[in-house]
Amino acid sequence: MSAETYVMEIDGGPGDLHCMKCLKICNYLKDSYCCKKTKNMTLPQKKAESAFLMICLQRNTIELMVTALLANKKIIDSKGNCAFCRNKKQHEEEKWCAGRTKLQLFLHRIDKDELKVEEYLEKYLEIKTRNRMEQLDIVQARIVREMKAVAIAQGKSEEEVEHILAKQGRKARRMQRSEYKHAEEDNKGVRQRLAAKLVAKKSEIIERFCLAQRTVFVKADCPNVYGRTTTHISYLLE
């Protein structure tokens, strides 16, 4: 690849996870670890850490694209095509990207890239919630076994044991509903914090482009359904 070209793709793959102790990338699918800390993680923990890494890598990809644009590099996708034009005809014949400023190119594609960040976040939250509920199931199963053993040891009849376990089952289902509600509340907070970070980062990047292009701009942030805001720009080149 030419030094004047940047490939717009995530620098990572399935199973990759980041070791916070060694600051290295491991891969649990390939059974490749840098230390015992990552190797001894449970499989649910590894899946969650891997999903979280993809969020970070996607955000880093956006930052690298911006740096490459400001350095006047050609931005392409993993197939070697222009990262901004819809197809080769638009790029080679219509020369769509050639008639756009760096800021316009960035704004043309940022929503698509931020959507990928949100998709990776949803996968991460799904894994975290599932892990949380599975841990609760393990605890509740242990409680049922212990309650049953105690009831039998106390000489209770089969009907009494079933009554005790049925009562515990109702309590367990209430706990599951409550735990799921708390998990969703936590997830909502995570979504809001990420949305705020994406908005702040987008505003920061726009200012970088405007300073580089001597551009005067006015921005207005409008919330979308997800909670992220879409920044609309009006600008005049000096």
pLDDT score at 12: 82
pLDDT score at 224: 46
Does any domain span residue 85? yes
pLDDT score at 11: 80
Tokens of 213: 């292009």
Does any domain span residue 41? yes
Q: Which residues contact 138 (CB under 8 A, 6 or more apart)?
A: none
Does any domain span residue 139? no
Let me know the angle formed at the C-alpha of 199 by 198 and 203, rounded to the nearest 5 degrees. 115
pLDDT score at 165: 92
Does any domain span residue 147? no
Beta-carbon-side half-sphere exposure of residue 209 (alpha carbons within 13 Å): 25
Does any domain span residue 51? yes
Does any domain span residue 133? no
Q: Which residues does residue 18 pair with via DSSP β-bridges, in sequence order?
A: 25
Does any domain span residue 25? yes
Q: Which residues does residue 26 pair with via DSSP β-bridges, in sequence order?
A: 17
Query: Helix, strand, coil shares of the chain as percentages rounded to 5?
Result: 65, 15, 25
Total domains, the chain? 1
- Looking at every residue in the chain, the average pLDDT score rounds to 85
Q: Domain containing 30: what range?
A: 5-125+192-236
pLDDT in tens, 30-57: 999 999 989 999 999 999 999 999 999 9
**Which of the residue ranges 180-189, 212-221, 224-233 would you say has the lowest mean pLDDT?**
224-233
**Which of the residue ranges 6-15, 28-37, 173-182, 212-221 would you say has the lowest mean pLDDT?**
212-221
pLDDT in tens, 47-88: 999 999 999 999 999 999 999 999 989 998 888 889 888 888
Helix (H) or strand (E) holding 17: strand 16-19
CA distances from 144 to 111, 137, 141, 161, 197 (A): 49, 10, 5, 11, 44
Does any domain span residue 141? no
Asked whether the predicted pLDDT for residue 166 surpasses 90, the reply is: yes
Asked whether the predicted pLDDT for residue 227 surpasses 60, the reply is: no
How far apart, in whole angstroms, are the C-alpha atoms of residue 192 and residue 13?
26
pLDDT score at 2: 56
